[in-house]
Amino acid sequence: MSSSNKIAIIQFPGSNTERETFMACHRVGLLPVGFLWNQPLEELSNFDGYIIVGGFSYEDRSRAGVIAALDPIIKQIKVEAKSGKPVLGICNGAQILVESGMVPGLENGRVGIALTDNKRIKKNHVIGVGYYNTWANLTVSVPPNRCAFTRKLKPEESINIPLAHGEGRFIVPSELLEKMIKNKQTVYRYCDEGGNIIDEFPTNPNGSTYNLAAVCNPAGNVMAMMPHPERTSNGDVVFSSMKDFIDNNNPISSYTLKHDFPNDKINNYTSADKSQQWIIDMIITDNDAVSVNNALVSLGHDVTLTRQTHWEIESSNNSDSVMNKIEDTGELYNSNKEFVSKVIKKEKTKSFLIRQKDDILGRSKLQSLKEKFEIEEISNIKRGVIWNLTINSGNFESIINQILETHILYNPLTYECYEIS
């Protein structure tokens, strides 16, 4: 089937599933063309639409999708989207759209929602976390003509497609969710085989707010979708809808989305009573820090950035013997490539401790040390990452604030930030 509708298949270092996306486009009459992140940006205007594929862009360093979201190509895709062209982000592509602020598309352009670690919840108990793959049922929860990627479905029609991700849980503040529902931006929701929306596992496979599987921007031409419609002909309707949208000259909606967030609060870090800290450095090159540093330099910041892992360990007697037991397990750091260090203190440097609000890894390590290694003295473990920012030139406070505003270090919806004095 031939087509004049050229679709740029956007690929970053670490992307995959482009072959499946090519096949899905061909099946519905779209003409896919591979487009690498470092190709000339002016060539993007030659396309009728864009698909950001799944995978692990930049190896998900710092946070899934965030480095790619700051790449110049995304800035140009934002320009194309404003002209009405459709943009679909699948899995990692969805994470990129969320981290870039293109979805949900707040007027001020800031990051408004989050995609974070899966939590499989049944009867109010977490029965599993992390990576999960399955076939999921999705129902259309907006009028089909509301979004570029639902136009060929019937109201409340369901599709059955695969999902495979570790950070696919949509987090949306309740007040913003109400506005998105009113705006008809909650495009696809997880349901059972009968189309019933049940907010627990296995119907909701990752604990997403409102059973969200895909959301769009106010105009309806940009959608972030965590499951994989390209991996099965069951998902072809998503791509045929995209084609119909283009064939009808990109009929975008006139909705807008406003929401005021409180200023990100950064407190000074204070350790808990009866706790000890481990600051872990790497012997080998820290590729996460290198990638984040390169991203900040590409944004024009003359900075040097390093990263350390932070463990705060509370125990009943706070003794060295407990720490020695933990060290012997190898659970909290790998002595072959890591070592216990201390917080970096140097001129023109600020250190920020970033902790996930759910702290899934900290909880799992606590459970392992108590149950597997029988170290009963431990009462709590918190895990975090310390980012050390050294400003080499320019106004120190101004550049620190600019870097924090990129949200490259943390998403305030799912992480807490502390300044280490």
Q: Where are the domains of the chain?
A: 6-247, 266-420
- Say what the pLDDT of residue 124 is: 85
Tokens at 210, concatenated: 């409102």
Could you tell me the two tokens for 286? 């820290």
Contacts of 58 (CB under 8 A, 6+ apart): 12, 13, 14, 67, 68, 291
The CB density around residue 125, as the number of other CB atoms within 10 Å, is: 9
pLDDT tens column, 269-288: 999 888 899 999 999 999 99
Q: If residue 125 lies in a helix (H) or strand (E), which one and from where to where? A: strand 125-129
Neighbour count for residue 53 (Cβ, 10 Å): 27
Pure H helices in 30-173: 66-69, 72-82, 92-100
Q: Which two tokens stand for residue 272?
A: 């808990």
Averaged pLDDT score across all residues of the chain: 94
Q: What is residue 125's predicted lDDT score, i.e. its pLDDT?
A: 85
- For tokens 């031409």, the residue is 221
CA distance 1 to 4: 10
What does the pLDDT look like over 283-311, one tens digit per residue? 999 999 999 999 999 999 999 999 999 99
- DSSP classification of residue 259: -
Q: Is the pLDDT of residue 26 over 80?
A: yes
Our CA angle for 208, 144, 164, nearest 5°, is 35
Instruction: Specify the fold of 6-247.
Output: Rossmann fold (3.40.50)
Tell which wins on pLDDT, 272 or 268.
268
Asked if 32 contacts 70 with a C-beta cutoff of 8 angstroms, the reply is no
Quickly count helices (H) and strands (E) in the chain: 10, 20
**What's the pLDDT score for residue 2?**
43
Looking at residue 3, its pLDDT comes to 54
Q: Is 184 helix (H, G, I), strand (E, B) or coil?
A: coil
Tell me the pLDDT tens digit for each residue of 224-236.
999 999 999 999 9
pLDDT of residue 317: 77
Put residue 137 in one of left, alpha, beta given phi > 0 → left and psi -120 to 50 → alpha: beta
pLDDT at 366: 93
Identify any residues that bridge with 19 across adjacent strands, giving them in sequence order.
Answer: none
Instruction: Give the integer Cα–Cα distance in Å for 196 and 139.
Output: 9
- Give CA–CA dist 70/331, Å, rounded: 34
Rg (CA), the chain: 22
User: Which residue type is seen at 60?
Assistant: D
Residues acting as catalytic residues = 91, 228, 230
* Residue 293: partners with Cβ closer than 8 Å, 6 or more residues away: 303, 304, 305
pLDDT, greater one: 60 or 187: 187
Q: Which two tokens stand for residue 52?
A: 């950001």
Report d(CA 346, CA 55) in Å as an integer. 38
pLDDT at 256 over 60: yes
At 123, the pLDDT band (50, 70, 90 cuts) reads confident
CB 247 within 8 A of CB 159: no
DSSP string, 266-327: EEEP-PPTTEEEEEEEESS--HHHHHHHHHHHHTT--EEEEEEEEEEEEESS--HHHHHHHH
pLDDT band with cut points at 50, 70 and 90 for residue 318: low
d(CA 223, CA 216) in angstroms, rounded, equals 4
> At a CB cut-off of 8 Å and minimum separation 6, what does 263 contact?
none
Omega of the bond leading into 143 within 30 degrees of 0 (cis) = no
pLDDT above 70: percentage of residues in the chain? 99
Residue 216: strand pairing partners: 223
Chain segment 365-421, per-residue pLDDT in tens: 999 999 999 999 999 999 999 999 999 999 999 999 999 999 999 999 999 999 998
pLDDT: which is higher, 344 or 341: 341
Task: Read off the pLDDT of residues 32-87 as tens digits, 9 standing for 90 and up.
Answer: 999 999 999 999 999 999 999 999 998 888 899 999 999 999 999 999 999 999 99
Residues 210 and 177 sit within 8 Å (Cβ to Cβ)? yes
Q: 3-state class of 230 per DSSP?
A: helix
